[in-house]
Structure 1
Amino acid sequence: MRHEDEDVRSLLTNAVPPLAPPPGRLGAVARRVRRHRRRVVGGSALAVALAVGLGVGGVQAFTGGAGTPTPPVATRPTVEEPRCPAGTWEFPDLASARYGGGEPLAPEGAVEITACEVPAANPPRAGLSAPRVLTAGVGDVVRILNSMPPYQTSPGSRSPEHSGDAQQLRCTLVARDHELAFVLRYPDREPVTVYTNANCRVAVSDGRGRGLDFTLVTTFFDRYRAQLAAVTPPDTIPTPACAPSIPASRLRLTPDRSGLDDRISVDNPDRRPQLPTRLVAVTACRYVVSDDLARLTGQRSDREDAEALRPTVNAAFDRAKTTTCGGYPGYRPPKALDTLLVADATGATAEFWLRRSPCQALLRGKSSGVKPSEALVAAIDGLLGPLNER
């Protein structure tokens, strides 16, 4: 080879750089691990930054800024539950109350009124009714409370006594086994109790006194019966059933008798009218009476036309005259007896007796007999058929 050829080969060889040796496998793995760690650390830092930012921003958004405190949570005030007085010994002194003022006996806004039959003796007489709770028409009762006369009213009269002297209350001496108290419940204040006294005809609350208008009592029970009727499905009220027999000793109506069953009057103390609520069922029963037993001989029930009988029963007791057809003591049993059993829309029941022979008398509850009306006698005969007095 000539000297010129060697120079050309050397020139070509130096023009191409030498190739790098192949990379080692461990080095490539190490580089990938370092890149993964950098991505993880970067992502975690970003998440922490976002969380802190959102936390601070959220707190500021709900508090109105770092300097605005969180408003307190509103809580409902604790209100004492209504309670009926245990006895009339818990009643305030009637004579020391302030009569004649213009202050209301109870504030407006009551949502519930409980009528309590408060016993006058300890232990109380058996048979007192459980408290009645009124939630419909409460405002009507409160308005009557606050519109009653400013002074005591005379027994049997609605005119107020204007003496103004609270120490000279005039009261009757009728023995009463209970008095009424009305407990008013409010959503945002303590209950208010109004104490009434029928003998003195006054109502007292928190040292304030007024004359008692019995419209208060009748209105409460009117609203209470309407409330019961509204929530009592008629088809759940059973039709009254005749007793197969009645002991003749019960028909004699001796002074210690238990009287006729009358649950309707429990919520109708005025008994004007005798049947104040729509009837849903009636049953008429006929008995023949021997020396010791009245035996059932006929009966008929009616639900469709029960209400049509109510005006006839009410009219029979309206201004009815008492009768001398027997009397206390030793009321002789009749020879023939019809009974009328009724159920009204509140679910309450009552029974009436019509003594047919040898003389006629219509009885209710524990009252003395009255002369029956021809219309009522005809109505009962319409159910049972004409009386055969053989």
Structure 2
Amino acid sequence: MAAFVATVPTACTADPPAEKPKQEESALALDVDGCPTQRQAMKGTQGDAPGELISPQDVTWVTLCELAGVNRSPQPPDFGKPRKLTRRVAEMVAVLNRLPDRTAAEARAGRPLPHRYQECEAVDYFANYALSVHYPNRTVTVLLDINCGLVFADGRTRYAMPDPKDSLLALYREQLAIAAPAVVPHGCAAAIDPARLDVTAHEPADGIGRNRGSSDIYLPSPLAAIKLCRYVSADGQLKLAAEKVIRDGLAPVYEQLKKATVPDPGVDCGNPNKAGWQPTNLDVLWVADVTAAVSELRVWRAPCVAVRSIYFDAGLATPELLMQLDRG
């Protein structure tokens, strides 16, 4: 198992450039993907050491690593295979090297920014992130601090403006789309128990979410296919009445779904805390994007209209969307 020496901060600290950065080195064990095997406790302080965050020369690929939270069980969760960016790597490196130091970040924000640990939210997230930057003969780890919105690497601190994770995921989705397999339409269940449409207990499947950035819309990549399963209420269940696959002319549907998947607190349709929330007419959409990832959307059509995804708040099902789903 390979290891490398990296500077690992403990506090969310981005001291002024004039203050000489103090460093404390600690060996990080890496797995076969070049990712740290666990999140390290932050130690010492970090300053805004001048220069590039990482060397842009000869970077071969960049891997997005997920690490268990500090206070999690010794048995690490299974995050799946790390995302390895092998195309447009120079663009990702440029994103990292453009991240602002504290002076530049405050100038951009027009206000002082949190830079001491106690001023950041001390939340132990389920997953923490790092970028593993690979060179022909070494690996450099860039630590992403979600609490403070800071980035640490090689004795330097930068602000996550923009979030490097989101930048990598955008490039990674484009990489996936180039070699994505043909989308096989999802099957339709013959019947659905209406009680299972309660999103608080049974969230819709969200395969697209794996590569969705924190600042991305719900459907960040264009669609490749939609499997529509239409249900009507009968004998206490929702029974399959029709089904179809939509592959052509998806652009207008995609535009409508992008709007409909924005949570709207004013839409109560399908809210399990309201009386009569269960639908009598429902479309279940299995939407596959150009990366071949698939997510489930539930479109209430009667007695009210709404689009429900993984979010508790529903989105508005516009007449234009319903018309697009009815065509053909």
> TM-score interval w.r.t. the shorter chain?
0.7 to 0.9
CA drift at 1:212: 1.4
TM, length-normalised to structure 1: 0.67
CA distance in 1, matches of 2:164, 2:319: 35
CA drift at 1:300: 1.2
The equivalent position to 2:238 in structure 1, one of 288, 294, 300, is 294
Q: Say whether residues 1:204 and 2:204 are aligned partners.
A: no
Q: Say whether residues 1:352 and 2:303 are aligned partners.
A: no
The equivalent position to 1:133 in structure 2, one of 81, 84, 87, is 84
Report 1:29-108 matches (<5 A). 83-88=34-39, 90-93=40-43, 96-108=44-56
CA distance in 1, matches of 2:155, 2:111: 19
Tell me if the contact between 2:207 and 2:294 (Cα under 8 Å) persists in the aligned partners: yes
Alignment match, 2:73: 122
Identify, as 1 or 2, the structure richer in helix: 1
- The one-letter code sitting in structure 2 at the alignment partner of 1:270 is S
- The one-letter code sitting in structure 1 at the alignment partner of 2:62 is I
Render the CA deviation track for 1:83-124: whole Å, top value 9, x for unaligned: 222333x2533xx33233323221112110000121112256
Which protein has the larger Cα radius of gyration, Structure 1 or Structure 2?
A: 1
Alignment match, 1:146: 97
CA drift at 1:293: 2.7
CA drift at 1:132: 0.4
Alignment match, 2:285: 340
Tell me if the contact between 1:153 and 1:201 (Cα under 8 Å) persists in the aligned partners: no
CA drift at 1:207: 3.0
CA distance in 1, matches of 2:100, 2:313: 34
- 3-state DSSP class of the match of 1:280? strand
Report 1:238-257 matches (<5 A). 238-253=184-199, 255=200, 257=201
CA drift at 1:296: 0.7
The equivalent position to 2:309 in structure 1, one of 355, 364, 387, is 364
CA distance in 2, matches of 1:124, 1:197: 22
Q: Say whether residues 1:273 and 2:217 are aligned partners.
A: yes
Tell me if the contact between 2:261 and 2:314 (Cα under 8 Å) persists in the aligned partners: no
Render the CA deviation track for 1:130-183: whole Å, top value 9, x for unaligned: 2100011111111111211212999xx9628657x9645621245521111100
Q: Say whether residues 1:237 and 2:183 are aligned partners.
A: yes
- 3-state DSSP class of the match of 1:311? helix
- 3-state DSSP class of the match of 2:49? coil
Alignment match, 1:61: none
CA distance in 2, matches of 1:365, 1:356: 18
Alignment match, 2:172: 224
CA distance in 1, matches of 2:213, 2:323: 28
Identify, as 1 or 2, the structure richer in strand: 2
- The one-letter code sitting in structure 2 at the alignment partner of 1:279 is L
- Identical amino acids, percent of aligned pairs: 25
CA separation of 1:246/1:115 partners in 2, compared to 1, >3 Å: closer, same or farther? same
- 3-state DSSP class of the match of 1:232? coil
CA drift at 1:196: 0.6
CA distance in 1, matches of 2:239, 2:274: 21
- The one-letter code sitting in structure 2 at the alignment partner of 1:228 is L
Unpaired stretches in structure 2, ≥5 consecutive residues: 1-30
CA separation of 1:152/1:366 partners in 2, compared to 1, >3 Å: closer, same or farther? farther
CA distance in 1, matches of 2:298, 2:249: 20
CA separation of 1:370/1:315 partners in 2, compared to 1, >3 Å: closer, same or farther? closer
CA distance in 2, matches of 1:126, 1:218: 22
Alignment match, 1:159: 109
CA distance in 2, matches of 1:314, 1:83: 36
Render the CA deviation track for 1:325-348: whole Å, top value 9, x for unaligned: 243547732121112211122110
Render the CA deviation track for 1:30-86: whole Å, top value 9, x for unaligned: xxxxxxxxxxxxxxxxxxxxxxxxxxxxxxxxxxxxxxxxxxxxxxxxxx9652223
- 3-state DSSP class of the match of 1:191? strand
Unpaired stretches in structure 1, ≥5 consecutive residues: 1-79, 384-390
CA distance in 2, matches of 1:269, 1:134: 15
TM, length-normalised to structure 2: 0.79
Aligned residues: CA RMSD: 3.0
CA distance in 1, matches of 2:269, 2:50: 52
Alignment match, 1:16: none
CA separation of 1:158/1:131 partners in 2, compared to 1, >3 Å: closer, same or farther? farther
CA drift at 1:319: 7.3
Could you tell which deviates more after superposition, 357-366 or 135-144? 357-366
Tell me if the contact between 1:284 and 1:340 (Cα under 8 Å) persists in the aligned partners: yes
Tell me if the contact between 1:152 and 1:211 (Cα under 8 Å) persists in the aligned partners: no
